[in-house]
Structure 1
Amino acid sequence: MDDTTQPTDPKTDNNTAEPTAAPTETPAPEQATVPAAESTPAPAQPTPAAPEAPEATPATEAAPAEPASTQPEAPAQEPAPAEVPQEAAPAAEASTPQETPSEEKPASTGEALPCHCPAKIDGAQWDKQKKQISKKFYKTYSPRILFFPFSMAIDVTRAKLGAEKAGYTVPDGAMLVDKGGMFWSTLMLEITGEGTPDSNVVDLSGEYYCKASAKPWSKMKEDMTELETELGHKPTELWMWYTACPKCIKEDPEKIKTIYLAK
Structure 2
Amino acid sequence: MPQDLPGWVAELTDPRRATTLDELADRLVPLAEHAIDVSRRLQTLLNELNDPFKREALYGRVERLKARASEALDEITAEITASGQERLERIWALWPGEKDGEDARELRRRLDAEIVPVLDRQRLRVAEEVAARTSTALEDATQTLLTRVEELAKAVTDLIHDVLPMAREGLTLASRISALSTRARKAGRGPIPAQLQESGTETTRVFDESVARLELEWATLGARSAGVRAALRGAEECAFSQVTNAMTLCVEELAPEHVKVLNEAEARARAIMDELS
TM-score over 0.5 (shorter chain): no
User: Which structure is higher in strand share?
Assistant: 1
TM-score computed with the length of structure 1 as normaliser: 0.28
TM-score computed with the length of structure 2 as normaliser: 0.27
Report which structure shows greater RCO (CA 8 Å, sep ≥6).
Answer: 2
